[in-house]
Amino acid sequence: MAEYFITAKLILDTALHVGTGKGSEPTDSPVRRAGDGRLLIPGRAIGGSLRTLATRLAPRLGMEECQILVHRSKRQVDRSCACQVCQLFGDIHPVDRPDNIKQEEWTDSRASDLWVYDAWLAADQAIYTRDGVGIDRQTGAAVRNVKYDYEVIPAKAVFGLRLRLKSDNENSLQLLAVTLAEWQAGRGQLGGNVARGLGRFHLKEVTCRQTVLQNASDLIAYLSADDQASAGKIIEEQPAKWLNDARQRVIPLPGQEGGPPAATGFIQVNFRLAFTNLFLINDPLMSLVAGFDHAPLVEMLSDKNSRRPLLSGSSLRGVLRSHGEKIVRTLATDHWWKKDKATAADRFLRYCPACNALARSKEEPLASCDARLAGIISDNDETPAGALCLGCRLFGSQRRGSRLWVRDAPLVAGSLDETSWKAQDFLAIDRFTGGGLDTAKFDAAPLLKAQSEGQLLLHDPEEWELGWLSLLLRDLADGLLTIGFGAAKGYGQVKAEAFTWTVGYLHEEDYSAWGLAGLEGQQQEGLYYESSHMAAGWLPTGWEKAAQQWVVEFNKVVKAPSSHDNWQTFKKDSFFGNGRLLEQYGVSRVEVGNDE
C-alpha cells in the first residue's frame, strides 16, 4: 500500500481562535496550548475542517454521499457508512456486525486512512485578547451580562501542516487533492467564530512525498530516518493530476430533500467602507495602553512591531443582522396588518421571521430560537433549518451555524499615526444646575475618515438569502447604517463603495440557478470556477433582473411561514391533544397546515 506524506505552510489570513472550551482567570476563552505552553492547532480541528469540506464536495464528484448528509429519517443507523469520505477519514458511525447478518452481506467499519498531525507555530508568537458584547435590539446599548473576551493568534502567523495518507484508492487521493486545493485557494476555515471574521487561512509551499520501498536499502533508510516524511520521494506532478482528474468528474447538483447539503457554490462581495468623519470600535486593552477611556481596536500581527486598526467581522456582522431583522419584521408587520388588522399583532408574534437572539426565556415575546426549542429538540440532535426563524437561518444560532462569513476588515490606512485619529472629550451636563456632572467626564480617540476593506462570503446561497443580502448591501451603499461606538454623537457614519462580486460555481447549472446570465472572465482555483464582476454602484451591470427576482423570493419567504414536521405536529398527536404542549411550551411560531 502506498504511503504519502504531505507538508505545507498554513498561513493565517485573519486572526485565529481554537479554544479549550474552558474559561480561565485572565480570559473567558483561552486558545489551545500544549503542556509546555507552546501554541498549536490540534490535529482533530484540522481533520474536522478537512472532513467537513470533503463531505460537501464528494457528491459533486459523483461519489456516494455520506450518511451524515442524508435526512435522519432515511439514515441507515444500523449499518456502517461505506462512502468515500468515511473510507478516507474513518467511519462516521462505526457499527459491529450483528450475529444474524453474514459477513459477505456486511461492510466492516474502518479507521481513517489519513493521519492528521498537530500543527505547531513556526516561530514564537505573542497573542492578544479581543472583547465581544451583545447589543440590545431596542435600545442599541450593550446588554448586561453579555460581555465576554477571548484570546486570538494574530493574522500572518505561520503553522506547519503535516498529513500522512496510506491508501492506493484513486478516489481517496483525488478527494484529498481537491480539499487541499481549496485550502490553497484561501477558502479554508479553522476554529471558532469563523462566521464573525476569524479562522481564515491559505496553504503555501505544499509538498507531497511518496515512500518508495523497493529493496532492503530503501527499508533501512525509511526505518532509520528521524523524519520518515523526509525519506520519501517528492512527486511534483501527481497531485496536479489528481486534481485535474477530479475536475473532470464534476456533475450537476443531485436532487436533495430539504435543500442541497452538498456544495453548490458561493457568492463573495468585496467593498470599501468609507467613514465620513469619526469612527471607533472600542478596545478596552488599547484604552488601557493609550490612556483613553475609549480607544480603537488595533490588530496585532505576527510581526511583534506591526499593528493595524481594524473593524472586526463581529462588529460589522452585528450591524448587518440588526438591520436585517428590522427589514423582515417591517415586511411581516405590513403583511399581517393588511391581511387582518384585528389579529395582526398576534400573528406577528407567532410568525415573526426574526427572533430576539438575546431573549433567553421562552416566555418573552420573540423568544430566541434556542430558548423556544429548549425541551423540544435536544441539544444533541440536529436542528433542521425549518425549525429556526429566518434570522437564525442566515446569520446562525446556537443550534445551527451560519453560511454567511463576514471577514475582519482592516483599515486601508495601515498603522496608527498622529494624522489618523482625533482626541475628544465628553462631559455630561447636570440637568438641574446646567453645569458639568461630577464623575461623568470621559474621553475618546476615534479614527478620522477611516477606510476599511470589507468582505462577505455566502456559501451555497438560496435566492431568498441573496435577496435579503442585496437589500442590506444597498442600504449600506446608501449610508443608512452606522457602525461602532457613538452613533448618537455622530460617529460611525459610513458608505460602502467599490463593490466587486465574485461568483464561485462547480457547474454551469449552479451559476444559472441563481438567475445569472453571461459567464465573464471565469478562472479556476481549486475545484471552483470563479467569475468576478465590478459594479459601478453596488450591483454589477446586467444583474438588475436577477436581483429583483432574489428580492421577490425573499418577500415570499417572509410572508409564507415555513412548517417543521418534527416537533410542530406533536400538537395533533393524541397524547398532546388536550393542549398540554401549549401549556408547557407556549404558542409555537409556526403552525403546521396553516397556509397563511
As a whole number, mean pLDDT of residues 168-188 equals: 92
Residue 23's pLDDT is 63
Q: Which residue has the cell 505544499?
A: 206
Phi, psi of 139 (to 5 degrees): -90, -25
Asked if residue 332 lies in contact with residue 559, where contact means CB atoms within 8 angstroms, the answer is: yes
pLDDT tens for 61-103 read 999 888 877 766 676 766 778 788 988 998 887 777 766 676 6
What are the grid coordinates assigned to 515, written together?
438567475
As a whole number, mean pLDDT of residues 560-580 equals: 40
What is the share, in percent, of the chain residues with pLDDT greater than 90? 31
Residue 362's pLDDT is 78
Give residue 490's Cα distance to chain centre. Answer: 31
Q: What's at 369, amino acid-wise?
A: C
Q: Which residue has the cell 467599490?
A: 498
As a whole number, mean pLDDT of residues 496-522 equals: 86
Residue 582's pLDDT is 36
Question: Is pLDDT at 564 greater than 50 in this prediction?
Answer: no
Question: Is pLDDT at 415 greater than 60 in this prediction?
Answer: no
Residue 370's pLDDT is 84
Range in 129-133, 200-204, 403-407, 453-457 with the lowest mean pLDDT: 129-133
Instruction: Considering only residues 204 and 445, tell me which one the structure prediction assigns the higher pLDDT.
Output: 204
Instruction: Considering only residues 30 and 348, tell me which one the structure prediction assigns the higher pLDDT.
Output: 30
Which among 100, 61, 46, 58 has a CA at the least distance from the CA of 78?
A: 100
Roughly what angle, to the nearest 10 degrees, separates helices 238-247 and 170-184?
90
Question: Is pLDDT at 342 greater than 70 in this prediction?
Answer: yes
Any idea how long the chain is?
596
For the residues of 30-71, what is the DSSP string, one character each?
Answer: PBPB-TTS-BEE-HHHHHHHHHHHHHHHGGGGTPPPPGGGS-
As a whole number, mean pLDDT of residues 338-348 equals: 79
Residue 68's pLDDT is 79
Residue 414's pLDDT is 56
Question: Is pLDDT at 180 greater than 90 in this prediction?
Answer: yes
Per-residue confidence band for 206, with pLDDT thresholds at 50, 70 and 90: very high
Non-local (6+) Cβ contacts of 452 within 8 A are: 272, 273, 310, 311, 409, 410, 411, 412
Spell out the long-range contacts of 185-189 with Cβ–Cβ below 8 A and sequence spacing 24 or more.
Answer: 185/525, 185/526, 185/528, 186/13, 187/266, 187/526, 187/528, 188/49, 189/49, 189/405
Asked if residue 434 lies in contact with residue 423, where contact means CB atoms within 8 angstroms, the answer is: no
- In a 10 Å sphere around its CB, with 0-12 CB exposed, 13-18 middle and 19+ buried, how is residue 385 labelled? middle
Residue 521's pLDDT is 66
Which among 217, 476, 377, 254 has a CA at the least distance from the CA of 385?
A: 377
Asked if residue 54 lies in contact with residue 68, where contact means CB atoms within 8 angstroms, the answer is: no
Per-residue confidence band for 577, with pLDDT thresholds at 50, 70 and 90: very low
Q: Which residue has the cell 453474514?
A: 102
Residue 12's pLDDT is 93
Strand ranges for 327-418 from DSSP E: 404-406, 409-410
Mean pLDDT (the chain, rounded): 81
Residue 518's pLDDT is 67
As a whole number, mean pLDDT of residues 181-190 equals: 92
Question: Is pLDDT at 434 greater than 90 in this prediction?
Answer: no
Instruction: Considering only residues 580 and 14, tell me which one the structure prediction assigns the higher pLDDT.
Output: 14
Residue 398's pLDDT is 82
As a whole number, mean pLDDT of residues 488-492 equals: 87
